[in-house]
Structure 1
Amino acid sequence: MNQTSILPQILEWMPFVLQGFGLNILMSLLAIAIGTAIGTFLGLGQLSPSMAVGGPSKLATQLFRNAPWLVLLFYCIFLIPYQVNIAGITIQLPSWLRATIGFSFPVAANFSEIVRGSVNSVPRGQWEAAEALGYSRRATLFRIILPQCITRMVPPWMNLYALLLTATPLSMIVGVEEALGRTQAAVQAQSDSRVLIPMYLALLTMFFVYTWPINRLSLMLERRFRTK
């Protein structure tokens, strides 16, 4: 078998691998959406003066933020049932969906810290000025503080998403047929050791092409918001 036969082999398997990469993107989008929603509540909970709210929020944030992603992934894969019954309707929960839920926990914890840090970065004088004008703490938070925090949260949120996408290949370990698992299957199916490096290089290129613009955009937004 000559060297020129390697490229056709790789191109033949690319649609198969790209379908798996599409699943990586889907899992990352769902996980960042779920994690952002939960993380917003956790972050605001950390800022609550009530220990009944602030204590559990801080505990959950630190627990999921410092736990290994793979451990959380295993917990969700094996503890979440394969199917649930709602009003007599059976809903299947495939492995990729349970893995997505597993990824959403560390995302929520990290975004919680982004929210907390962004709110705390607003000068204390703005809280005092709003209080002097008769605003309640709740009104000050939602009408004055949080609108200013959006630009502070967007760049780290984008970096968190890029990090999340690069972590999704961990789901291969629990049986999800994403891009890394499909690349491994393609290499084994070809029985040609010469395609090993090119196939994994193609996979690396997919992740780089997708995440590099996100990182560049986050840096651009960070510089732009910093000058305001």
Structure 2
Amino acid sequence: MTQTRTETGHASAAQYSLSGIRWYHGAILLLIFLIVFAVVQMKDRGATDTNLSAIDTLVLWLPFILKGFSLNLLMSFLAMAIATVLGVALGIAQVSQISVIRGMAKFVTHLFRNAPWLVILFMVMYLLPVEMRLPGGEKAIIPDWIKATFAFSLPVMGNISEIVRGAIRSIPTGQWDSAEGLAFSRWQTMVHIILPQCVKRSIPPWMNWYALLTLATPMASILGVHEAVGNAQAAMEAGGGRPDFLLPFYLFLLCLFFAYIYPIALWTRKLEQKYAVSQ
């Protein structure tokens, strides 16, 4: 019983970053955003057509910024899919009865769990080739956003691996013994009995890591990927590169990401409370 509580607690420890979000945090953020825009608009009241205000510039470039935000979401979806597939495989390998497989899985898991995301991003961006040769002999350029997506999936993969390992270890050992008594192989026990019970235990931390992954995708703008932050910077430069645009533009981006992440935070908290009772 002590082991079960320890492993389950370890699997859910990653949720702390979203569990503290409340509705009034968004209200405060929106209020700050409106105050800043009101102040900037008052300063720019005498702006001409050749010197647009911050609000006019933001409205003008809003479709361009939202297009970049859609790339953030696409990167987060693909990276989470890759991280989930690889992380589940690694998590299962961590509880393997073969010591070599178990040791290698633990090494890979802890390597990427404890590596800085920005370092992984730079390594992948510069180590992966710019283009690849197709079977027909033609060359295809690998877009930077695809390389960035793969880079973001690696640290999340390590954390999902640990979530899966903790969920598997939290299953009472009596279920393994019962399955063995029914002549189930270890793989059949894992697939048909253990992993289905791990799903509900893993969903809340899995959602939490998706939210963290989404919030990390703007780092790709450092290497020239045209996502929301990169497009906002390009819009500010096109608007004259005025310093007074920085705060309202970045506050808008902050509100944009908050509006997307906040429902995920609420849903994660509800699932955590729901499954905590049944566990």
Given the alignment of the two structures, is residue 199 of structure 1 paired with residue 242 of structure 2, yes or no? Answer: no
In structure 1, C-alpha distance between the alignment counterparts of 2:60 and 2:109, rounded to whole Å? 45
- Please state whether the residue corresponding to 1:84 is helix, strand or coil: strand
Q: Identity over aligned residues, as a percent?
A: 47
How far does the alpha carbon of each residue in 1:41-96 deviate from its partner, in whole angstroms, 9 at most, with x for none? 11111010102211111111111111111111111101111111121232220111
- Please state whether the residue corresponding to 1:91 is helix, strand or coil: strand
How far does the alpha carbon of each residue in 1:106-139 deviate from its partner, in whole angstroms, 9 at most, with x for none? 1111110111011111111211222223222211
1:159–1:215 Cα contact (<8 Å) kept? yes
- Please state whether the residue corresponding to 2:184 is helix, strand or coil: coil
Q: How many residues align structurally? A: 228
Aligned-pair CA distance for 1:226: 1.9
Aligned-pair CA distance for 1:189: 2.5
Aligned-pair CA distance for 1:28: 0.6
In structure 2, C-alpha distance between the alignment counterparts of 1:86 and 1:14, rounded to whole Å? 37
Match of 1:2 in 2: 45
Aligned equivalent of 1:86, options 134, 144, 147: 134
1:69–1:103 Cα contact (<8 Å) kept? yes
Aligned-pair CA distance for 1:9: 1.8
**1:21-170 paired onto structure 2 within 5 Å:** 21-87=69-135, 88-170=137-219
Gaps of 5+ in 2: 1-43, 48-52
RMSD of Structure 2 on Structure 1 (CA): 1.4
In structure 2, C-alpha distance between the alignment counterparts of 1:208 and 1:98, rounded to whole Å? 25
1:76–1:99 Cα contact (<8 Å) kept? yes
Query: Are residues 3 and 18 of structure 1, via their aligned partners in 2, closer, same or farther at CA, if it must alter by over 3 Å?
Result: farther
Aligned-pair CA distance for 1:222: 1.4
- Please state whether the residue corresponding to 1:227 is helix, strand or coil: helix
- Supply the AA of the counterpart residue of 1:160: W
Query: Are residues 3 and 43 of structure 1, via their aligned partners in 2, closer, same or farther at CA, if it must alter by over 3 Å?
Result: farther
- Supply the AA of the counterpart residue of 1:2: R
Aligned equivalent of 2:67, options 10, 19, 32: 19
The structure number with the bigger radius of gyration is 2
Aligned-pair CA distance for 1:194: 2.8
- Please state whether the residue corresponding to 1:134 is helix, strand or coil: coil
- Supply the AA of the counterpart residue of 1:11: V
In structure 2, C-alpha distance between the alignment counterparts of 1:6 and 1:27, rounded to whole Å? 29
Match of 1:223 in 2: 273
In structure 2, C-alpha distance between the alignment counterparts of 1:144 and 1:92, rounded to whole Å? 44
Aligned-pair CA distance for 1:144: 0.8
Match of 2:226 in 1: 177
- Supply the AA of the counterpart residue of 1:123: P
Query: Are residues 3 and 14 of structure 1, via their aligned partners in 2, closer, same or farther at CA, if it must alter by over 3 Å?
Result: farther
1:10–1:195 Cα contact (<8 Å) kept? no
- Supply the AA of the counterpart residue of 1:223: Q
Structure-2-length-normalised TM-score: 0.78
Structure-1-length-normalised TM-score: 0.95
Q: With CA pairs under 8 Å and 6+ residues apart, which has the higher RCO, 1 or 2?
A: 2
Aligned-pair CA distance for 1:3: 6.9
In structure 1, C-alpha distance between the alignment counterparts of 2:159 and 2:77, rounded to whole Å? 16
